[in-house]
Amino acid sequence: MLDFVGKRKIWYIISLVIIIPGLFSFLIQSLNYGIDFTGGNLMQIQFAQEVDDAQVRSALGQFGLEKSKVQATEGNQFLIRTKILTEEENQQIITAFKKDLGQLEVLRNEKVDAVIGGELTRDAIIALIIASIFMVVYITIRFEFWFAIAAIIALLHDVLVTLGIFSLFRFPVDSAFVAAILTIIGYSINDTIVVFDRIRENLRIKKKDDLDTVVNLSINQTLRRSINTSLVVIMVLVSLLFLGGETTKTFSLALLIGAISGTYSSIFTASPIWIGLRERFAQK
């Protein structure tokens, strides 16, 4: 049987080595916010002949805008959302489209505000806080209070890991990133609850064993299930990351980081944190 609890200090150090640099990066340079946060230009263009996303991105690449949001619509039309452009830059892009992709009609070309403003960001944070409170209440009723606190700490671990890596490597952040963070929270809490449920069952059965032994047994019993489930999810996300195109890259990358971190925290940190909290506070 693998000893997860006995080596918990090692797992904590590994987590801190990843989280602390990312946290410093986030505090110093924040995130690399995309146009959903900063605003930009919105073009709606209709081409005379059939054109695909890759061709549009290739033309935008001449101006360093290949990572802009490109959405195909009906009638061979495209919605292109870029950073804020000058009038001269707008004309250069339209000229490049005509040269590379043929005749077109500009249906709309205007500056737009940020999709995700400060008020919406605050609302999302408030929603996460409320959701965390409900999680604490639910897990406390079903398990115990210290299980709930350990689960929330594990969730915070996964969010900080994802935020830190995006900040350190300056990956662009858009509205899909917010959706990915919410998905990570749901995925991580599910895996953690599975382990906690097995711990609760074993506590009833093996009353004579010490806490470390019961937790190690529980993690080992759920280890195969956790790893197999995570591997399937990771394989799908890797495929989406490399084959899904530019539009889904931020979403799939954030989910991939969160899935790996969520699996790690569910196995290596959540249960040891619960033991530490229980030994320090509950027994007193």
pLDDT of residue 284 exceeding 60, the answer is no
In a domain, 149, yes or no: yes
Q: What does DSSP assign to residue 102?
A: -
107 and 125 co-located in one domain = no
Q: What is the pLDDT of residues 128-174, one digit of tens each?
A: 788 888 888 988 888 889 999 999 999 999 999 999 999 999 888 87
pLDDT at 19: 95
What does the block give as tokens for 168? 């350190």
Q: What is the pLDDT of residues 85-122, one digit of tens each?
A: 888 888 899 899 988 888 888 888 887 766 665 666 77
pLDDT at 279: 82
Q: Domain boundary residue among 62, 85, 112?
A: 112
Q: Check which CATH number belongs to the domain holding 14 and give it.
A: 1.20.1640.10
Q: What does DSSP assign to residue 256?
A: H
In a domain, 3, yes or no: no
In a domain, 1, yes or no: no
103 and 124 co-located in one domain = no
pLDDT of residue 260 exceeding 70, the answer is yes
273 and 238 co-located in one domain = yes
Q: What does DSSP assign to residue 5?
A: S
φ, ψ of residue 78 to 5 degrees: the values are -135, 135
CA distance 192 to 144: 14
Q: What is the pLDDT of residues 185-243, one digit of tens each?
A: 888 888 889 899 999 899 888 877 788 899 999 999 999 988 998 999 999 999 988 88
Give the structural domain span for 59: 40-112
Give the residue from 38, 172, 178, 53 showing the smallest Cα distance to 111. Answer: 38
85 and 150 co-located in one domain = no
99 and 124 co-located in one domain = no
Q: What is the pLDDT of residues 19-46, one digit of tens each?
A: 999 999 999 988 888 777 777 888 888 9
pLDDT at 191: 85
132 and 213 co-located in one domain = yes
Q: Check which CATH number belongs to the domain holding 105 and give it.
A: 3.30.70.3400
Give the residue from 8, 120, 2, 98 showing the smallest Cα distance to 46. Answer: 98
In a domain, 2, yes or no: no
